[in-house]
Amino acid sequence: MIAHLQRASDTASVLAYLYGPGEGGNHTSPRLIAGDGHGAPIELLAEPGSLPYLAHALDAPVERLGARAPVRPTWVCSVRSDPRRPDLTDSQWATVARSLVSAVGLAPYGDPDACRWIALRNQPRKVHVVATLARADGGLHNTYSDVFRVQTECRRLAAELGHLPAAPDPTPRAQEAHVPAPSITITSEFSGSVVAKGATDDLSAQLLNHAGFQQIDDWYGRRHRLPTTTPIADQVAIATHAAEMLRAARYGVDLAPSLDMARMSTPVPALGPYAAGAELLQITDLIRSAENGADLQRAVDHLLHPEHGALERVREALEATGEHINDLDDEAYALADRFGFAAEFVSAAQSELVDSQPELRRFSNTQQPQTEMRTRSPKLPDHRGAALATSPAVAKAKVSPSLGVEATDSSVAVRPSHAPAPQR
């Protein structure tokens, strides 16, 4: 089984497409085969004339979140089976869909507050699962590990249904000694993606796919990689597990030390106890090293992602600090308000930049030399230089040596603030 994950911003449009004729007119007899609307009559609404009401039923928990709702709250997973095997019945596909939403954590078995979802079929050997990311209890589903979990569950279901290729006949040990062991290298690329090189035969490819790697077959040949969104801990676990299986199958494996759990020691934080600051420095390094707009957009996404970006985490931390100050001392409302105002400023910054990421991708691959940038950056228009010269931030920078910080050229280092600091 092969799964393809997507995120969408409009549930109604997704349903209209899936229930429609499709791009090539290949959608036939669209029908609901499973789902859970937590009381909403999805079976009655899953008809072409009622699709807007079905979309509203699925979106109801998202709408209750208000401003906290994600930009793309609709989760779509399309799963197809091996064309060399008999197609599954609607009942079997319903079981597959139920297992997938449970495995990824969207709707675990027995969870009364899980996300709402449906599964529908509109062509042979395929099922589409549509869910919304908001839970009934007001929480949000974390999607970071969904790709890995979906792949693992598809592999398990395929084995359970007997759709995996049969194991090759065992080779006598006398012959094994004469078979050269292919060498496979598992390492991290600069982009953050973990890649496995040298796995060109079917057995090694199956082992890597089982571990969680994605297989890519194009004009460069067969390659395997992990998505750049895979958390570091999962990258290490997947790479180590893949190396263990490959070595057990008599492959020579060169595993990067940073991906080997057996060789890893407890890392020393680059900034001591300030681990979060060290991670933000890594984001800054990614931004500075971006070679084109696409790289820059991916790096900035670590800051601006509406659910998991650094700005959202900072906003939540500031908001939680203000609330906790009130819990500890209800007389300290003034201090709590200052943290609340700061959280609002961060939220305003998020709103200001929410539409900037598509524009980042337009930049070309060519970059100006750093020396040219340094030469040109101080040359500001007259009106901007005048504004900076009278800015309170400039006056503050001029007295910075008394605080142990060297004063800098105000026309270069100081930028006007977008919002005034709260008056206390």
Q: Which residues contact 208 (CB under 8 A, 6 or more apart)?
A: 196, 199, 215, 224, 242, 246
Amino acid identity for residue 179 in this structure: V
**What is the predicted pLDDT for the residue at 272?**
62
Least confident stretch, 90-99, 262-271, 324-333: 262-271
SS3 20: coil
Mark residue 374 as left, alpha or beta (left: phi above 0; alpha: psi -120 to 50; beta: remaining): alpha
The pLDDT of residue 403 is: 34
pLDDT tens digit sequence for 281-296: 888 888 887 778 788 8
- DSSP secondary structure string for all residues of 260-326: -TTT--PPPPTTTT-HHHHHHHHHHHHHHT--SHHHHHHHHHHHH-TTTSHHHHHHHHHHHHHHHHH
Residues in a beta bridge with 134? 140
d(CA 385, CA 34) in angstroms, rounded, equals: 64
pTM of the full structure = 0.43
Q: From CA 349, how far away is CA 130, in angstroms rounded?
A: 32
Q: What is the pLDDT of residues 1-36, one digit of tens each?
A: 889 999 999 999 999 999 999 888 889 999 999 999
Residue 79's pLDDT band (cuts 50, 70, 90): very high
At 56, which amino acid appears? H
Residue in 185, 181, 215, 213 with CA at minimum distance from that of residue 198: 185
- For residues 7 and 133, give the distance between their C-alpha atoms in angstroms, rounded to a whole number: 10
Chain Cα centroid distance, residue 9:
15
Measured between alpha carbons, how far is 297 from 294 in angstroms, rounded to an integer? 5
Assign 398 a pLDDT band (cuts: 50, 70, 90).
very low
Phi, psi at residue 391, to the nearest 5°?
A: -70, 140
Across 130-141, average pLDDT: 94
Write phi, then psi, for 60 (nearest 5 degrees).
-55, -45
Q: Which helix (H) or strand (E) holds 187?
A: strand 183-188
Per-residue pLDDT band for 375 (boundaries 50, 70, 90) equals: very low
Question: What six digits make up the tokens of 240?
Answer: 């180590």
DSSP string, 214-262: EEEEETTEEEEE--TTS-HHHHHHHHHHHHHHHHHTT-EEEE-GGG-TT
Residue 277 and residue 5: Cα distance in Å, rounded?
32
Q: Among residues 337, 306, 313, 309, which one has the least CA distance to residue 323? A: 337
DSSP letter assigned to residue 144: T
If one compares 397 and 67, the residue with the highest pLDDT of the two is 67
Instruction: Return the percentage of the chain with pLDDT > 70, whole number.
Output: 77
* Residues contacting 230, CB < 8 A, separation 6+: 144, 145, 147, 148, 194, 238
**What are the backbone angles phi and psi of residue 194, rounded to the nearest 5°?**
-95, 130
Residues 6+ apart with CB under 8 A from 22: 122, 123
